[in-house]
Amino acid sequence: MKKQLVIALGGNALGNTPDEQKEAVLAAAGHIASLVKDGYKIVIVHGNGPQVGMINLAFELAYQQNSEVSVMPFAECCGMSQGYIGFHLQNALQNTFVEQGITTHVSTAITQVIVDRHDPAFQNPTKPVGLFYSEATAEKIAEARGYTFVEDSGRGFRRVVPSPEPVDIKEKGTIRCLMENGDVVVACGGGGIPVYRENGRLTSVDAVIDKDKAAAKLAEVINADTLIILTAVPRVAINFGKPEQKWLERITVAEARQYIKEGHFAPGSMLPKVEAAIKFVESKPGREAIITSLENAYQAVTEDNGTVICS
């Protein structure tokens, strides 16, 4: 049986504006179609930084103009971004499949990712979102809405939200079912809509889950074979950007940990990817993760190109 893949698409696969995004997802669709043609079963996870930022900004500016506009919680903005990006991905994949005579169906699962309400991240919000405000305005908004603001390197005050760890994926059953059926599924967009469980109910919370961590958790809970994290570089490097830079081919979890210790991976960019890869690989024997670029994805999967992290 062909392998089941969870593919995390980086920011460079989406662009910033709706037009850019339409073009970018079409390119991504071409690469994914090659894998679908080969019989791989695929779930796609994507980022949403610029998109959720745009949606959040639109509501914020509309509210400033007209107080009858609702304040839109960040979790809802994340849900909207899943719909917006999922629509573009579905459309581009479907059109590409028709062109290439592929009969595979595509759908998007609005995905809730369960987090722990007692995750220490909730005591220490770190992820900046939204507009910059003066101290006085920030104080007023904080009072009215319970937001946390921090001063951002002289540019003003900006809201910060927590970045908790993903614990489980609410829609995993549906996603697994669709994947096993051979459908391409877009899921966990933007790292998923964060929800916590309380008294048997799920409640959303304004937070941002790292999309690479969410992809690793999804791959784990739907029992995928390989996690593929696509970004702007074809491989992970040690001494990245230095004259002695060296691209990595196949590394063990132990080697990856050693490189982390030595500080080879930048926090906020490559480090969370390597950490997500390690988590997935360690979740069950035989699992592998690949970090590579979109352009190199097909080669990486079929010829072990890219950086492979194994146990």
**Is residue 249 within the footprint of ligand ADP (CB under 6 A)?**
no
| Catalytic one of 172, 211, 217, 279 | 211
Written as six digits, the tokens of 148 are 């946390």
Q: How far apart are CA 190 and CA 164, in angstroms?
A: 13
Residue 128 as a binder of ligand ADP (CB under 6 A): the answer is no
Report the distance separating Cα 138 and Cα 144, nearest Å: 10
Residue 262 sits in the site that holds ligand ADP (CB under 6 A): no
Is 11 in the active site? yes
* Interface with ligand ADP, residue 11, by CB under 6 A: yes
The span from the CA of 51 to the CA of 18, in Å, is 9
Query: Which residue, 97 or 298, is less far from ligand ADP as judged by CB?
Result: 298
CB of residue 187 to ligand ADP, shortest distance in Å? 17
> Is residue 191 within 8 Å of residue 167, measured between CB atoms?
no
Q: What is the pairing mode between strands 4-9 and 41-46?
A: parallel
The answer to whether residues 8 and 230 touch, using CB atoms and an 8 Å cutoff, is yes
Smallest distance from the beta carbon of 10 to ligand ADP, in angstroms?
2
Verify whether residue 173 is a known catalytic residue.
no
Choosing from 41, 172, 217, 273, which is the catalytic residue? Answer: 273
Smallest gap from Cβ 128 to ligand ADP, in A, equals: 15
Instruction: Please state the φ and ψ torsions of residue 13, each to the nearest 5 degrees.
Output: -85, 0
Distance of closest approach, residue 149 Cβ to ligand ADP, in angstroms: 24
Least separation in angstroms between residue 233's CB and ligand ADP is 5
Q: What is the DSSP string of 215-262?
A: HHHHHHHTT-SEEEEEESSSS-EESTTSTT-EE--EEEHHHHHHHHHT
- The catalytically annotated residue of 3, 12, 30, 156 is 12
Q: Is 268 a catalytic residue?
A: no
For 177-211, the DSSP string reads HHHHTT-EEEESGGG-EEEEEETTEEEE-S----H
Minimum CB–partner distance for residue 217 and ligand ADP (Å):
16
- β-partners of residue 169 are 113
> Cα dihedral angle (112, 117, 121, 127), rounded to 10 degrees?
40
Q: Which of 3, 91, 127, 223 is catalytic?
A: 127
Q: How many residues bind ligand ADP (CB under 6 A)?
A: 15
266 binds ligand ADP (CB under 6 A): yes
Would you call 273 a catalytic residue per the annotation?
A: yes
Instruction: Based on the residue annotation, tell me whether 190 is a catalytic residue of this protein.
Output: no
* Binding residue (CB under 6 A) for ligand ADP from 208, 236, 276, 297: 236
In the list 100, 126, 269, 302, the residue contacting ligand ADP (rule: CB under 6 A) is 269
Segment (H or E) for 54: helix 49-65
| One character per residue 45-84, x = contact with ligand ADP (rule: CB under 6 A) | --x-------------------------------------
Q: Which of residues 214-233 bind ligand ADP (CB under 6 A)?
A: 231-233
DSSP 164: P
Using DSSP, state whether 161 is helix, strand or coil. strand
Q: Which residues bind ligand ADP (CB under 6 A)?
A: 10-12, 47, 231-233, 236-237, 240, 264-266, 269-270
Query: Would you please indicate which residues are annotated as catalytic (active-site) residues?
Result: 11-12, 127, 211, 273
